[in-house]
Amino acid sequence: MVGKAKDVDLGDRFVPIIDSQVEGRKVYDYALEGLRGLAAIWVAYSHIFFYEFKLDPAYHPGFSFGYLFNAAHGGILIFFALSGYVIGLTNQLPFSKTNAIRYLLRRFIRLYPIYIVAILLAVIAESTDSWKTILGNLFFLQPALSALLSGNGVLWTLHYEVIYYIVFLAIWYFRPQVAPLIVGALIVACLSSLIPAFPKIISGYAAGWVFWLFGLWLAWKKPRAEYLTKSPLFTYILLYIATDKLEIGKVIAKDLGLATTKLAEISITDFVYFPLCALLFASLTQRRLPFYRWFSASAIALPLAHVSYLLATSRLIGNEGWLIASAQMFLGLALLGWQVSPKIFDKLTFFGSISYGLYVFHMPIMNLLHKFLFLSGSPLSFIVRILTWASLTIGFSYLCELKIQPIIKQWFQRKVIGHI
């Protein structure tokens, strides 16, 4: 969606532009739910093809398969932006103690029951973790305690989500100005790379929070367009995958002399995803994006300039992943004139509806299948194991997300939230 610079008021505050009574009403965006499903598939796909001999203990295909459809790290950033967007849509009433308690309880019941099952599956899959690690995960303290579960390492991102949920209360209450808050987050995100003594986890929080705040800002400050418009969504997706696999941020940071090993899982190197993330969200939600031309130019220029740089420094040829990403980039640029409706993402809505389950269950189920040694050691066995893993992961996610979770939510709404 095209917007102009004048659409931005630097003195504007983080409050909804419309005081609509959306609380208690289901807000569902099919296209954006499809993007959530795609992000979850990216993460699961990467763990199948980049964790050697995890699914099949005696066979693993070449890495080429992993590079074809993998934007796992970028998918996590999409999750952050989606989280902020959904919180913005579902919390538009004025702040009050009652509304804040209801908000926290709803976040708890949405997150925790399935999260507990994911931890249980992880412990069953890999029983070598200490009680400290298990308790650290139960209380979302993974980065603080370096407590990643062996059987389900992806749960660390939920720590970030919980932090952002809590900090949202301050935004909701104090209604800070948009520009100073985002600029402040950007500055803090850079500090650990400039000042070695600065805690990298704080910079990591700030970097991820920029994406989260963008989602909140879009939901609260930008109304939907009256008419459905088309955009080059296939170009955006291909460029997003290419940006992920070209490792643009990490290569730039390394060549600038920054110690990337000292950065958090989320860091300033992730800002290279931001233009494409913003374009995807604006296109799928049909909301006006200020500086649209700048975002479009940056989304194209970043991977194109990076490929040129890698070629000039004789590093492109010989790196399989970068070559495949370059081909994806050029294909995306070739499709730039193909404008499609956001409704095309509706086809992934089912995966979006079970995306949380897909995200937290796919790894422990993969680790459980690894323990079965029969039917192993060949391309055929790998395919059979993928189909088995996909069926179990999708089926279990469907059962938990769409069957059991609604029952828990209704009971909690009636017995707890309804009495507040």
Q: Could you read off the pLDDT of 14-46 as tens digits, one per residue? A: 998 764 444 444 456 889 999 999 999 999 999
Percent of the chain with pLDDT over 70: 93
CA distance 268 to 28: 31
In a domain, 414, yes or no: yes
Beta bridge partners of 225: none
Q: CB-side exposure of 252: number of CA atoms within 13 Å?
A: 17
CA separation, residue 118 to residues 125, 191, 278, 287, 339 (Å)? 10, 34, 31, 35, 39
Tokens of 35: 């993007």
pLDDT band per the 50, 70, 90 thresholds, residue 374: confident
pLDDT band per the 50, 70, 90 thresholds, residue 260: low
Alpha helices in 176-319 (DSSP H): 178-194, 200-221, 233-246, 248-255, 274-285, 292-312
Full residue range of the structural domain in which residue 341 is found: 26-419
Q: CB-side exposure of 220: number of CA atoms within 13 Å?
A: 25
Residue pair 78/6 in contact by the 8 Å Cβ criterion: no
Beta bridge partners of 340: 231
In a domain, 17, yes or no: no
Q: CB-side exposure of 141: number of CA atoms within 13 Å?
A: 10
CA distance 232 to 300: 12
Q: What pLDDT, on a 0 to 100 scale, did the predictor assign at position 23?
A: 42
Q: Which residue has the tokens 């769409």?
A: 402
pLDDT of 3 higher than 70: no
Alpha helices in 256-378 (DSSP H): 274-285, 292-312, 320-334, 349-353, 355-370
CA distance 278 to 85: 12
pLDDT in tens, 127-150: 888 999 999 999 999 887 778 899
Q: What pLDDT, on a 0 to 100 scale, did the predictor assign at position 306?
A: 95
Q: Which amino acid is at 100?
A: A
Q: What pLDDT, on a 0 to 100 scale, did the predictor assign at position 416?
A: 86
Beta bridge partners of 287: 224
Residues in CB range of 251: below 8 A, 6 or more apart = 306, 310
Of the listed ranges 11-25, 36-50, 221-235, 282-296, the one predicted with least confidence: 11-25
In a domain, 9, yes or no: no
In a domain, 11, yes or no: no
What 3-state DSSP class applies to 177? strand
pLDDT of 408 higher than 70: yes
In a domain, 348, yes or no: yes
Q: What is the mean pLDDT of the chain?
A: 90
CA distance 51 to 55: 8
Task: Count CB-CB contacts under 10 A for residue 325.
Answer: 30
pTM for the structure as a whole: 0.94
Q: Which residue has the higher pLDDT, 299 or 52?
A: 299
In a domain, 157, yes or no: yes
CA distance 184 to 198: 15
CA distance 30 to 350: 9
Q: Which residue has the tokens 């399935």?
A: 114
Q: What pLDDT, on a 0 to 100 scale, did the predictor assign at position 27?
A: 53
CA distance 143 to 162: 12
- Asked whether the CA dihedral 195, 178, 8, 271 is positive or negative, the reply is positive
Of the listed ranges 124-133, 255-264, 294-303, the one predicted with least confidence: 255-264
CA distance 13 to 195: 31
What 3-state DSSP class applies to 2? strand
In a domain, 19, yes or no: no
Q: Which helix (H) or strand (E) holds 139?
A: none
Tokens of 151: 């059987």
Rg of the chain, C-alpha, whole Å:
21
In a domain, 146, yes or no: yes
CA separation, residue 250 to residues 156, 223, 243, 253, 255 (Å)? 20, 35, 11, 5, 9
Number of domains comprising the chain:
1
> Average pLDDT of 339-353?
95
Q: Compute φ and ψ for 13, nearest 5 degrees.
A: -110, 160
CA distance 178 to 287: 17
DSSP letter at 377 equals: S
Beta bridge partners of 33: none
CA distance 147 to 163: 16
